[in-house]
Chain A
């Protein structure tokens, strides 16, 4: 639950238009109007900093939803 909350916070921080009402764990990159390369980089660096983990370039590319990121973090801590 803790991981989920933190991932949600990271998403809310990166995407200023997100809130509880419109956040969807399964929404894909293409469902967002503003998930671009800069947003993706910010998601990864924020997650690395928050959980003190290193996300490899391959793992970075596998993240397409908030759920993917949450699963990745859980597998690392």
Chain B
């Protein structure tokens, strides 16, 4: 089985002195990366085959070495974002039971008290350990990433090496990546979008300029120019912020790019037009996919006029169908089949999401006559904050821990930067008082930051069905100016 790691070995031979990864403070050639990954892999051979090793890093050289090192040793790499809430951290660890968590002391100090039997270890301490001569076979499953579930439990997404290879080859072929590319990414490597970019650079032998985050947009734009970058990958919120606030800088720094790629969170039409107008010689592309079915469609906007609202055509080898509840309706649930789709969730949970190899995505959409896919919301109540999917029940259950609250409903409201943010509607318990600041503070202590409500509104009651169930879509419409 050929895996993405084999390409590191290949480039170690073909391009040993070429820079593979560059951060603000460090750079590594393919040879240096290979040596570090190999060393870590040998140390990790002390664990049995198919063991799970968790890694918790921000965007850094340590992330990449650990991620590739675990794969090199044939183990399953479980990726934990350092911004995870303590509750979700505990749930994920209980679900996958890793042998150890590789991290850095600054993150370890925040999480180490949560569960006494977790073995946390600092990356630099671990690197000092002795090698094991034991050889292990490559695991079918390369990595494990948890996403928001439609219940309050997160879903573990086991991604096979074959999924990674299939998707990476599609990215390279459709978007024309080549080894002379210099790829700037300020995307979190803990997510599928960022990881896909890492796999692409590794596969093709290009150089990856890695930024920690998108807070300092001007640094990123300068980095594009200074490094003679050819591709830039960013979420729609980042691109919107750049073209709205710094259009001249965008032209000055990004005109030399051959490609800008974003993902399928709703991209404002205005942002697409501005990008195409400001840097007309740069291809601007997006894709649609989930962690469970990465890069299922692609579109290059420059080559497809009047398709700005579409997320593109099916990726090569990927099938998509729209399953409609009513025969005459235009929209239905998007089902995906292909080698980019996982076979099941971790521990075979959520089996109802798969039918004959098709993944039921929960996303709603339709196809036009030219075969372009359009997204049209969800068939559940998942909120999408800048690409981060949130189950509202998770927020509601945290908030209901407060005595003064009888009921709470979280909904998504429109936001100019993030697409959506969370608004919380709260019914206070009888004779109890609570301030919105107390609710927000409680959320901050118990939820990831992007899940914390941006707004809290106290309501006397909620609209309900005759069975007493809250009618969420009414709240959603009312709070988004649709009624």
The reply on A36 being an interface residue by CB < 8 A is yes
Given A16-B444, A38-B450, do A61 and B217 touch, yes or no (CB 8 Å)? yes
Interface size on B, residues (CB 8 A): 26
For A36, the chain B residues whose CB sits under 8 A away are 83, 213, 215, 449
Q: Which B19-51 residues have C-beta < 8 A from chain A? A: none
The reply on B372 being an interface residue by CB < 8 A is no
Distance in angstroms between the alpha carbons of A36 and B82 in the assembled complex: 10
Given A37-B237, A38-B449, A61-B215, 6 other A-B residues pairs in contact with their CB atoms under 8 A: A13-B441, A17-B110, A33-B107, A34-B82, A37-B213, A58-B245
Interface size on A, residues (CB 8 A): 20
14 contacts between A and B (CB under 8 A): A13-B441, A16-B441, A16-B444, A29-B212, A30-B212, A34-B82, A36-B213, A36-B449, A37-B214, A38-B450, A57-B241, A58-B218, A61-B215, A61-B217
Give min CB distance, B61 to chain A, whole Å.
13
Residue of A nearest to B448 (CB): A38
The reply on A53 being an interface residue by CB < 8 A is no
Q: Which B58-113 residues have C-beta < 8 A from chain A? A: 58, 82-83, 106-107, 110
Q: Which B447-465 residues have C-beta < 8 A from chain A? A: 449-450, 452
Give min CB distance, A70 to chain B, whole Å.
18
Residue of A nearest to B106 (CB): A33
Residue of A nearest to B108 (CB): A33
For A34, the chain B residues whose CB sits under 8 A away are 82-83, 449
The answer to whether A61 and B216 have CB atoms under 8 Å apart is yes
Contact with B along A32-50 (1 / 0, CB 8 A): 0111111111100000000
Give min CB distance, B427 to chain A, whole Å.
25
Distance in angstroms between the alpha carbons of A34 and B217 in the assembled complex: 18
Distance in angstroms between the alpha carbons of A35 and B241 in the assembled complex: 19
The answer to whether A41 and B417 have CB atoms under 8 Å apart is yes
The reply on B119 being an interface residue by CB < 8 A is no
Give min CB distance, A19 to chain B, whole Å.
13
The answer to whether A39 and B449 have CB atoms under 8 Å apart is yes
Distance in angstroms between the alpha carbons of A20 and B403 in the assembled complex: 29
Contact with A along B108-129 (1 / 0, CB 8 A): 0010000000000000000000
The interface centre, meaning the residue of A16, A36, A40, A58 with most chain B CB atoms within 10 A of its CB, is A36
